[in-house]
Structure 1
Amino acid sequence: MSRMVYPYAILSGQVEAEITRVRVDGRPLDYAKISPSLRTVALDADRDGWQEAVCDVRAVLPEEEIAYGPWSELACVAVLEEPSTNTRTVQRLARDRASGTWQGAVRLRRSRHRSRATLGIRVVAAVDGVRGRIVGWSETDWVIDLRAEIPVRDKEIRIVETDFRDGPYVWLRRLKDAPWMVDVSGDLPTVYLNRGVEGLTALLRGSGTVERATAALLNAQIVSDVWETMFHSAVSDIDSDEEGRPRMPGGWRESVLEAMLPDVLPGLSPADAIVELRARREEGYGWTELQSRIQYAAALRAQLPKQLAATLRLTARPPQGDHR
């Protein structure tokens, strides 16, 4: 919801929304398919023929405003909707006074949705004697993509499965042994998954416990590669304004830089960071040393360290019945 003038008092503080866990037909969804930084969940509806996903939701509201504002009967709700199917689900969240958050679970039934739903927070209250007025909302809703294997937002990344050796993309044949390739030459970044690598696509849809963990780790590695490649492309597209000062590129490149710069060049504002980036790239000083920071920032965006730790813990467990 955009900010506009309302004829009654609304919250000025930030309303934050977080999906903390997703269960699909009662089974936890791999964390690599939940991206807090992109506020995106990849449900992969073609996998396992699942019927229902349950999202655990947590909202943080400006408590001081709530306590002293001119409203009553205040409620916090999570709203799940998909315009293409005209589906809308509203779930009231309960206030957890110990943590100061509002929590609840939202059910997404596969039969009622087609492709991409959004989940956001709305704060409703009685104001000036009128009940049911919206007084606050989350600025950025979550995207729940039923078709995606990798959590990407706003369709900014396209996933294409093809055989690099014999498929329709001739230019991929020289990369016939690569498991995947990231192409950022166009307006829409594309990840090509190589069907010619035996077992790759099956692994990404793994159903067993260890298989799911391995698939989640592989997904995280792919996402990390995507972030790193997109970052380098975005840096290449930094141009200059009329006065010769570096200017942010538009579209997805701006989003990538804004997300990664705090970890690549911590302590610098976005404006100062792109000046430093362009100077290092064009003049050569410190650019090589910066690569490790770029890899680190990409891994964080993909939750690669967390997923690696989770996979190592799982695979290190002794088989059941092994008491050595």
Structure 2
Amino acid sequence: MSPATRSRDGWRDSSSICRRPGGDGMKAVVPYPTLVGDVTFRVGSVRMDGVPVPLETISTEHKVVALHDVLRRHWEEVRLEVRAELPEKEVAAGPWSDIVCVAVLAEGSTNSRVVRRLRTGGDGGRSASVPLQRGAFRSRATLSVAVVATVDGVPGRIIGTSTENWTVDLSAKEPVLRRGPDVREVDFRTGEEWLRPYKDAPWLVEVAGERPTVHLNTAFEGITGLLGPGGGPLERAVRDTVAAEVAVDAWTAMFHAAVSELELGDDGAPEWPEGWRDWALRSLLPDIFPDLSPGDALAEVYARRTHGAGWDELQSRVQFAVARRARVFRRVGSLIRELDRSSQEALP
């Protein structure tokens, strides 16, 4: 048995296909040995211009740091104190060298990225202070950890990544993970200029920003009242069905927006996008390709989009997945039953 072959510890000979951890906890196929154990980390504290930020702005449960309601209007820098835990026995025994653990803070909308090396402390943990400059980041950044090493003589190979990442939200008042779309009521006739060509539409989904938004057209007669609370069983069934149709449009738009931004990583596999695009894909892919792992499903979607083969068939899968996510089948069934009941009650 060669030194690089030891199935008990999870690594294999580099000539075989190995799997690298992805952001979904699954494994992306790469042709070199990688860590099997989990890489985890947390944000222990935050300082704003050297002053400790209240612990209420940090949520370990949601893995979010919220900075909007910090009572300091003018600040220049936030420092995130990060501590990571690695499968140290596996790291020490594996077929790699020159091991470096780094924290990566990145925001797609501004293309900002900060990388800091985590240093090993006396207790064996790995820690770093990661700076966030206010002028470089705009809204929401993702904090992750990666383990890099020389493998088979090739430096800079990623042998492990954090199983769960953190979100640093500059616009959030509370440290909770915001994922779904915002709903905004606006008169399309007098609202932003780009909405005016759609003045006859009851709603419109926007996916170009940091967060998807469903614009409800208040100029469309009855739409806001229909989607409001109250009413009898039939009115509620109609409302739920219309709301499901809005959700279908939102999920469909989010899926295609997320897929359009997929890019290949250094290992040749498509990378998970950031923010709500990541969430949308992870939510829908299990219903689109129920027999595939999330990582393999992402690769399948990327291949179909890139090469065209199977793209038309994929649309049927997407249609089913978004309808299921929006509970269309249940809500349409409820509406049919309520209509039938109402018609029976109307008979003499």
Please, what TM-score do these two structures have when normalized by structure 2?
Answer: 0.47
Q: 1:128-277 to 2 correspondence within 5 Å? A: 154=178, 156-167=180-191, 169-205=192-228, 207-209=230-232, 210-277=234-301
Q: Which runs of 4+ in 1 moved over 6 A?
A: none
**CA spacing shift, 1:270–1:283, aligned 2, 3 Å:** same
Q: Deviation per CA, 1:4-55, whole angstroms, max 9, x where unpaired?
A: xxxxxxxxxxxxxxxxxxxxxxxxxxxxxxxxxxxxxxxxxxxxxxxxxxxx
Check the 8 A contact 2:180/2:212 in 1, yes or no.
Answer: yes
Name the CA distance, whole Å, in 1 between partners of 2:323 and 2:316.
Answer: 10
Check the 8 A contact 2:186/2:215 in 1, yes or no.
Answer: yes
| Higher Cα radius of gyration | 2
**CA spacing shift, 1:204–1:321, aligned 2, 3 Å:** closer
How far apart are residue 227 of structure 1 and its match? 0.9
The equivalent of 2:331 in structure 1 is 307
Name the CA distance, whole Å, in 1 between partners of 2:262 and 2:270.
Answer: 6
How far apart are residue 298 of structure 1 and its match? 0.4
How far apart are residue 266 of structure 1 and its match? 2.1
Name the CA distance, whole Å, in 2 between partners of 1:199 and 1:182.
Answer: 19
**CA spacing shift, 1:217–1:321, aligned 2, 3 Å:** closer
Query: One-letter code of the match for 2:216?
Result: L
CA RMSD of aligned residues (A): 1.7
Name the CA distance, whole Å, in 1 between partners of 2:276 and 2:186.
Answer: 24
How far apart are residue 276 of structure 1 and its match? 1.0
- Structure 1: 5+ residue runs without aligned partners? 1-152
Q: 1:18-167 to 2 correspondence within 5 Å? A: 154=178, 156-167=180-191
How far apart are residue 154 of structure 1 and its match? 2.4
- Structure 2: 5+ residue runs without aligned partners? 1-176
How far apart are residue 275 of structure 1 and its match? 1.1
Check the 8 A contact 1:162/1:192 in 2, yes or no.
Answer: yes
Name the CA distance, whole Å, in 2 between partners of 1:187 and 1:277.
Answer: 23
How far apart are residue 322 of structure 1 and its match? 4.5
**CA spacing shift, 1:180–1:318, aligned 2, 3 Å:** closer
How far apart are residue 216 of structure 1 and its match? 1.0
Name the CA distance, whole Å, in 1 between partners of 2:344 and 2:332.
Answer: 22
**CA spacing shift, 1:321–1:162, aligned 2, 3 Å:** closer
Query: One-letter code of the match for 2:256?
Result: H
Aligned residues: 171
Q: Deviation per CA, 1:63-121, whole angstroms, max 9, x where unpaired?
A: xxxxxxxxxxxxxxxxxxxxxxxxxxxxxxxxxxxxxxxxxxxxxxxxxxxxxxxxxxx
Check the 8 A contact 1:205/1:212 in 2, yes or no.
Answer: no
Q: Deviation per CA, 1:143-167, whole angstroms, max 9, x where unpaired?
A: xxxxxxxxxx725311110111122
Please, what TM-score do these two structures have when normalized by structure 1?
Answer: 0.50
The equivalent of 2:340 in structure 1 is 316
The equivalent of 1:47 in structure 2 is none
**CA spacing shift, 1:318–1:158, aligned 2, 3 Å:** closer
Q: Deviation per CA, 1:121-151, whole angstroms, max 9, x where unpaired?
A: xxxxxxxxxxxxxxxxxxxxxxxxxxxxxxx
Q: Deviation per CA, 1:183-234, whole angstroms, max 9, x where unpaired?
A: 0001110000001101110111153222221111111111111111111111
Query: One-letter code of the match for 1:274?
Result: L
Name the CA distance, whole Å, in 2 between partners of 1:317 and 1:245.
Answer: 53
The equivalent of 1:66 in structure 2 is none
Q: Alignment partner of 2:291: what SS? A: coil
Q: Alignment partner of 1:277: what SS? A: helix
How far apart are residue 178 of structure 1 and its match? 0.8
How far apart are residue 320 of structure 1 and its match? 7.2
**CA spacing shift, 1:238–1:321, aligned 2, 3 Å:** closer
